[in-house]
Structure formats: C-alpha cells, structure tokens
Copies of this chain bind each other. A is one copy, B any other.
Amino acid sequence: MDLEDTLLMMPGPVPVAPRVLRAMSKPMINHRGAEFAAMYDDCCEILADVFKTKNDIFIISGSGTAAMEAAVGCTIGKEDDVVTLENGKFGERFKDITARYGKVNPLENEWGHSFDLDEVEKKLEEGAKAITLVHNETSVGIQNPAKEIGRLAKEHDALFIMDGVTTIGGDDVRTDNWGVDIAVVGSQKCMAAPPGLSMISVSNRAFEAMEDKENLPYYLDLKAYRKSGGKSQTPYTPAVPLFFGLQEALHIVKEEGMDSRIDRHAKCAEAVRAAADAMEIDMFPQLNDRYSNYSNTVTAMKAPEGISGNDIKKDMLKRGITIAGGQSHLSGKIFRIGSMGNVQPKDILLTIQELEIVLKKREFISELGTGVEAASEVLDSLL
C-alpha cells in the first residue's frame, strides 16, 4: 500500500492541509531579511489569539520537548524545588527534564488517573518555585484541570509551567486567565502544521525568574529568543520551510476562528467516545473529580478483553488508517484515536467504521453500524 494514502488519526503528527504542504515548497529566503520578519510577526500575532495571551511568544525550531526544556531549563536552578504532576508519559517527561535542572517534588499518579487537588495543594505547601502540568496527557487521553492548578500555583506563589502541546490551537486554553507563566505547544498537533516547530509563551514573572540564573541552556535560551524576537528574528537559523507551513496553517486556524475550532475538536472527541460507548469499549482514564475530563483531542480506550491494542493498531494500519497504541507499560493495553488539527466528521466516521470492521473480525462485536450511528449523531451539529 502507498503510505501517502494513509489517514493519520494519531495524536500528532496530524494530516496537513494541501495548501500548507504547498507552502513548504517555496524557494528558500534569507532568514535575516524583511520577508522572514514579516512572516514571523504574522505567526506571532495569530498565536497570541490562539494562546489567549498578551505574554511574549517565541517560535523554536525544535519539537515540543525542546520547548518543555526551554521552560524549565531557563527558570529552574539546582536549588529550586519543583512540583511535577504526572499521570502519563508526558508528565513523566516533564519530571525527567526538571530533574536535570532542579529538585523534583513529584506527584506521581497512576497513569490515566485524575489528580486530587488537595494532594496538589499539599505538595505546593511544602514550598515550590514552580509547578509543571501537562494540560492534556496525550498518552492516556485525560484533560487535567489547568485552571484550578493555575489558581493553586498563584496562591502558593509558584511559577505555573504548562504543556499545552495537544490542547493549544484546538481546545479551550486561556493562558493569561489561568495564570500560566509558560505555556508550550507543538506545531504538529491541534494547529495542523508540520512537525518540527514549537511555540512558547513567557510571562514577565517567568522572565524575572531568569534574571539571576546562570548557565541557561544555549540553543533554548529564552533570553536570547526575547532579544532576537524584538527584531522579528530567531536567535539561530530557523527551519524556514516549517515557518512557511506554520504561517499557512495558522491562516487556516484564523479563517475557521478559534471558537468554531474548539467546538469542532470537542464534538469530534465526543463522537469517538459515543461510538466507543455504543460498542461497549471502556475509556482508559479514571476521572475521580469534577475538574478532570476526557481529552478533547485524543481518546484513549482500553483494549477489549483478549485483544491487544497493538493488534487493533496493526489491523487499522492495513486498512489505511494510522491510530496509536499505548506507550511504555501501556503498550498493548490501550489504543488511542487522535482527533486533532483539521479533522473533519468524515474522518471520524471512516475511522469508526473501519474500527467496527476490525472488532467484528476479531469477534468483539457482532454487527456493524452501532458505533457509526452514535458518532454520527454527535457530529450532526457540525454539518
């Protein structure tokens, strides 16, 4: 099979619109010239609306992980205590990155289990320079309570560092309203740009934390980004074709409007959950309070008894649809359907239909159509 025909329904990289692909094949330009500067400014202006922030925004040539490291590496010193919240792989990654720069005071939940806000508060009461949160834990399909944790961070005078990699640009994120000092996102997720760039918003409070800090990372030195950002440039050579792609992708975001985009993402994920429910497939996340939610951008489901999530993934790939399995110790136990970026109802319905066929062949369901019907009902309002 020609893989160029595969429908990507992973939690990123997501399919990129043809006009974005075409934008990337423009001839190179001087990255220190006026044309690049105009493109940089245009991107930042749209991103301010996407992040809902008045903070500085920078674009890093590197993945979301690079932006996570920039956030922690520039603000956290060896003697600083940081509360790291973990209920999945990316929370764990934030903990690992933080451990290279400061002292970690981790709250390690079972993966997929929602946080107890009282426990979070107790951790903060022990004293913390910062707290890290993964807003949407892509590895387990849970949306963590960013607003509430922002409130707790503020009460305890801790910097709030948030991974919005799979929410910003698709889900309802309010950087300034929630008091997020540093928010990071990857290009290849909700914004439906090509992978390879990450965007980061930085508050004045976060910049103040950098003032007295020595030996910041070099490539990810946010002070250097601030300096060159003032000239609408990047401190080091940017990945020019990815900027062409990002700009076009952000124009699509702007044309749709963030409100519609957020609604579409929410409905698409709800449709996947409705289909799963109709087929009696269990959600993986354990939501124990009213502040956590199922993700609006990726749905993590338990693999049905006797079937490996990896086999479902493989069966789907043969049929031309790429979904995701579980990461680390969840490999085989879960499977995940991403519904982020420019995903349309027809993409969801095709994916559910193929999933039904796969599950019927594996004798988990006995007839086709129930999942599609449930999903279709949710998606109707988008048409």
- Which A residues lie at the B interface, using CB under 8 A? 3-4, 6, 8, 10, 12-16, 21-22, 24-31, 33, 35, 61-66, 69, 73, 96-97, 100-101, 186, 188, 194-197, 215-220, 236-242, 245, 322
Contact = CB atoms under 8 A, between A and B. Distances in A.
The 6 A-B pairs with the shortest beta carbon distances in the complex, nearest first, are A196-B239, A21-B25, A65-B236, A63-B237, A25-B25, A66-B219
Contacts of A73: 217-218
A24 to B, nearest CB: 5
21 contacts: A3-B35, A4-B29, A6-B30, A8-B28, A10-B30, A13-B240, A24-B241, A28-B194, A31-B195, A33-B322, A61-B62, A61-B239, A63-B239, A65-B219, A65-B236, A100-B216, A100-B217, A186-B237, A195-B239, A196-B237, A196-B241
Most buried by B among A16, A194, A241: A241
Nearest to A219: B66
A69 to B, nearest CB: 5
Contacts of A13: 28-31, 237, 240
A100 B218 contact: yes
A12 B63 CA distance: 23
B196 A61 contact: yes
Contacts of A61: 61-63, 196, 239
Contacts of A97: 218
Given A63-B219, A66-B219, 15 more contacts: A6-B30, A8-B30, A13-B28, A21-B25, A21-B27, A33-B322, A61-B62, A62-B219, A63-B237, A63-B238, A63-B239, A64-B237, A73-B217, A197-B239, A241-B241
Contacts of A16: 27-28
B237 A195 contact: yes
A219 B96 CA distance: 11
A239 B237 contact: no
Given A65-B218, A220-B219, A242-B242, A27 B15 contact: yes
A7 B96 CA distance: 45
A4 B220 CA distance: 30
A195 B62 contact: no
Given A33-B322, A195-B238, A236-B63, A4 B21 contact: no
Nearest to A26: B4
A173 B33 CA distance: 31
A239 B187 CA distance: 10
Contacts of A64: 236-237
